[in-house]
Amino acid sequence: MSILNRFRLDGRVAIVTGASSGLGVAFAQALAEAGADVVLAARRVEKLADTAKLVERAGRRALCVPADVVSPEDCRDVAAAAAGFGRVGVLVNNAGVADAVPASRETPEQFQGVLDVNLCGAYWMAQAAAAEMTGGGSVINVSSVLGLVSTGLPQAAYASSKAGLLGLTRDLAAQWSGRKNIRVNALAPGYFASEMTARQQAGHIDDIVSRIPIARTGDPQELAAAVVFLASDAAGYVTGSTLTVDGGLTVT
């Protein structure tokens, strides 16, 4: 197999959660361009139609499934729908929420709500998808540089959830890589255009960019390319790892 062919995902079904907007859309489109059929999951199912059009424009099939990853039952429904669509080979755990609340004022409900989506939801979805990856596969947990460093905003719940994803990634890789032939890796994105970053104050983004060696925010396609790498046979000897895609933010 040639090097370029190792990046192909032909004959595989990829599940992308949080596929209704932002980075989830870029991930779904990139996976389709690499040859995968894509199952699109999100709470805002009405928005999935636009993502599906991008997948189909790339010549692949799309299946939209309404789901809230907080619900283990919803996660099992997504995985079952994907199994009915073809050979499940990829899961991108992208669904997430963020909340910038000072720790002295954050309520138990606010803190738990972020963990339920970002960390527990990823776990339930990984469990459900792994049960359908009978021929092996790749799980990609979308963490954040905020799981590694602080950038100044009061985001205890978000940072905790994203750091927790890194530990979850290592543990699932140890459990599944040999026994199930399922590789599990994490992405730690820096600052990319998304609904989350759009809600932040412009001054904060400018401050972050001033600390990035590459001196700009990321292009979603740059992160989507990393997803395709981790999903594909090109990363066949990579598991339990965290791939930081942040323009160098974490080295400053």
Which structure tokens are listed for 166?
A: 């890194």
Question: In what side-by-side order are the strands of the sheet with 37-42?
Answer: 62-66, 37-42, 13-17, 88-93, 137-142, 182-189, 242-245
Q: What is the DSSP string of 45-64?
A: GGGHHHHHHHHHHTT--EEE
Q: Is 158 one of the annotated active-site residues of the chain?
A: yes
DSSP category for residue 218 = B
Angle at 176 between CA 115 and CA 42, to 5 degrees: 40
Cβ-based burial of 198 (10 A; exposed 0-12, middle 13-18, buried ≥19):
exposed
* Residues annotated catalytic, as ranges: 158
